[in-house]
Amino acid sequence: MTDSRTLFAKAQELIPGGVNSPVRACLSVQSEPLFITRANGSRMWTVEGRELIDYVMSWGPMLLGHSHPAVVEAVHQAVDQGASFGAPCQAEIELAEMLVAALPGVDMVRMVNSGTEATMSALRLARGYTGRNKVLKFEGCYHGHSDAFLASAGSGVATLSIPGTPGVPEAVVADTLLAPYNDLDAVEALFRTHGDEIAAVIVEPVAGNMGMVLPQPGFLPTLRVLTQRHGALLIFDEVITGFRLTYGGAQNVFGIVPDLTCLGKIIGGGFPVGAYGGRREIMSRIAPCGDVYQAGTLSGNPVAMAAGVATLRELGKADYMDLTRRTKALAGELKSVLEERGVQVQLNCMASLFTLFFATDPVTDFASASKADAVTYASFFRQMRDAGVALAPSGFECAFTSFAHTDEDFEKTLDACRTVHF
Ligand SMILES: *Cc1c(COP(=O)(O)O)cnc(C)c1O
């Protein structure tokens, strides 16, 4: 019988860091990944045969739970008909119809293969449509790994961007403007100096990649007003929030219609799918009906489309309010248990997302999130995993619940938390 440690050692010989996406290596929690062989409902099983209650849920996609029978059945049926055609199929229309019907900002939609492709392509379209180059993003928001979004704030002047990683040219991020999340003064200042150069403002309407951070009242509405006033497009990156906050997106919850919407994760039901959509007039600029080029060999893949359609069909019947209430109760009780252990915790929670920050002050942006104690989180992560609960291997991520999580799962999670000590 093999074990995760042996497999990880072998993987590290063959794959950089032993993983195909960095956070999985568990470096920031001073741990090693467990190799998974199977997942069902709220549970995953490691190669050692250990059972884990999962709060990562593939980083969001598995809102119905792992291996939902309706999704599995749809995928089997689709793959029996062929894995990929490179020609149109009906399932593309079905998924597009569902997205258009659910999202007020989406009249037309183009399928891609990941969230990264969705944001990258939406930015190209925004630039093509406006004839402008600059994009304003918020620190701590993640929009995938394409060059333009991998910018960090330079020291000193907050508006000067530097490459967030080697390999990204300075010239590329020179067009990326950065502002702190929830900081409208910074946004207004950037519009004052660069108003006629900004193609788009891109935002996670509820941030999920610096841990969960809520937009403060007025933040999203003001972004809508400012972009409109200056002829820039507002892009909602709903790769996490789409079909998680509600059936639809943050745009339904907050009543704000963005010009472009980026989707991923849930809409592929666990398969590699992304999408970007928006107003008909803007989307009509995409090739072949327009002049902005974007393509994909496997885009609209019939198996992935079938998984997406089946997922959304099930979610259309799901009780989001109930999951919201139960998740909030779980998160609140976890906070209490941790506080009894003498650690200070800030809880941010919405729908089926929450983050427990080991911080003393409320977390409203990247700077306050960064003050959370990563060492305490690492210890929490390791002890919880030893007790059978899989949390994200970084303190700056969300916990994801699903419709498959039972009250018994939550009780067991709280029991695990009661054994934790710092
Ligand atoms: C996950 C994520 C992405 C990137 O999606 P990938 O499928 O990993 O490329 C983009 N934006 C947000 C908000 C995300 O959470």
* pLDDT tens digit sequence for 234-276: 999 999 999 999 999 999 999 999 999 999 999 999 999 999 9
209 Cβ inside 6 Å of ligand 1: yes
116 Cβ inside 6 Å of ligand 1: yes
127 Cβ inside 6 Å of ligand 1: no
Q: How far apart are CA 110 and CA 283, in angstroms?
A: 8
CA–centroid distance, residue 107 to ligand 1 (Å): 22
CA–centroid distance, residue 114 to ligand 1 (Å): 7
**Domain spans in the chain, listed from the N-terminal domain onward:** 4-55+319-418, 70-315
- Ranking 145-159, 206-220, 331-345, 404-418 by mean pLDDT, the lowest is 145-159
In this predicted structure, what is the pLDDT of residue 157? 47
Segment 401-414 mean pLDDT = 98
Radius of gyration of the chain (CA): 21
161 Cβ inside 6 Å of ligand 1: no
278 Cβ inside 6 Å of ligand 1: no
Average pLDDT, the chain: 97
* pLDDT tens digit sequence for 135-190: 999 999 999 999 999 998 776 544 578 999 999 999 999 999 999 999 999 999 99
Which atom of ligand 1 is least distant from the CA of 272? 7
Which atom of ligand 1 is least distant from the CA of 204? 13
Q: How far apart are CA 370 and CA 372, in angstroms?
A: 5
CA–centroid distance, residue 1 to ligand 1 (Å): 35
Which atom of ligand 1 is least distant from the CA of 141? 13
In this predicted structure, what is the pLDDT of residue 159? 54
CA–centroid distance, residue 317 to ligand 1 (Å): 25
Q: Which residues contact 19 (CB under 8 A, 6 or more apart)?
A: 11, 25, 33
Which residue's alpha carbon is at the smallest distance from atom 5 of ligand 1?
Answer: 115
* pLDDT tens digit sequence for 38-89: 999 999 999 999 999 999 999 999 999 999 999 999 999 999 999 999 999 9
68 Cβ inside 6 Å of ligand 1: no
In this predicted structure, what is the pLDDT of residue 1? 75
Count Cα atoms within 13 angstroms, Cβ side, for 302.
15
Identify whether the C-beta of residue 273 lies closer than 8 Å to the C-beta of residue 267: yes
Which residue's alpha carbon is at the smallest distance from atom 11 of ligand 1?
Answer: 143
Q: How far apart are CA 286 and CA 51, in angstroms?
A: 46
61 Cβ inside 6 Å of ligand 1: no
CA–centroid distance, residue 70 to ligand 1 (Å): 25
CA–centroid distance, residue 3 to ligand 1 (Å): 30
Identify whether the C-beta of residue 257 lies closer than 8 Å to the C-beta of residue 251: yes
CATH number of 70-315: 3.40.640.10
SS (H, E, C) the chain: CCCHHHHHHHHHHHCHHHCCCHHHHCHHHCCCCCCEEEEEECEEEECCCCEEEECCHHHCCCCCCECCHHHHHHHHHHHHCCCCCCCCCHHHHHHHHHHHHHCCCCCEEEEECCHHHHHHHHHHHHHHHHCCCEEEEEECCCCCCCHHHCEEECCCCCCCEEECCCCCCHHHHCCEEEEECCCHHHHHHHHHHHCCCEEEEEECCCECCCCCECCCCCHHHHHHHHHHHHCCEEEEECCCCCCCCCCCCHHHHHCCCCCEEEECHHHHCCCCCEEEEECHHHHCCECCCCCECCCCCCCCCHHHHHHHHHHHHHHCCCCHHHHHHHHHHHHHHHHHHHHHCCCCCEEEEECCEEEEECCCCCCCCHHHHHCCCHHHHHHHHHHHHHCCEECCCCCCCCEECCCCCCHHHHHHHHHHHHCCCC
Identify whether the C-beta of residue 294 lies closer than 8 Å to the C-beta of residue 121: yes
In this predicted structure, what is the pLDDT of residue 166? 93
Q: Which residues contact 244 (CB under 8 A, 6 or more apart)?
A: 60, 63, 265, 266, 351, 352, 353
In this predicted structure, what is the pLDDT of residue 153? 78
Which atom of ligand 1 is least distant from the CA of 21? 8
Residue with tokens 């793959």: 79
**Does the pLDDT at position 127 exceed 50?**
yes
Active-site positions? 142, 237, 265
Residue 34: name the closest of 23, 43, 42, 45 by CA: 45
- Ligand 1 pocket check: which of 142, 149, 206 to mutate, most ligand atoms within 8 Å of Cβ? 142
Please check whether the two domains, 4-55+319-418 and 70-315, share a CATH topology.
no
Identify whether the C-beta of residue 299 lies closer than 8 Å to the C-beta of residue 273: no
Which residue's alpha carbon is at the smallest distance from atom 8 of ligand 1?
Answer: 115
CATH number of 4-55+319-418: 3.90.1150.10
Which atom of ligand 1 is least distant from the CA of 237? 13
* pLDDT tens digit sequence for 335-348: 999 999 999 999 99
In this predicted structure, what is the pLDDT of residue 155? 62
In this structure, is the dihedral angle defined by the CA atoms of residues 111, 237, 173 and 371, taken in order, positive or negative? negative
270 Cβ inside 6 Å of ligand 1: no
Which residue's alpha carbon is at the smallest distance from atom 14 of ligand 1?
Answer: 239
CA–centroid distance, residue 239 to ligand 1 (Å): 6
Grade residue 391 by pLDDT with cuts at 50, 70 and 90: very high
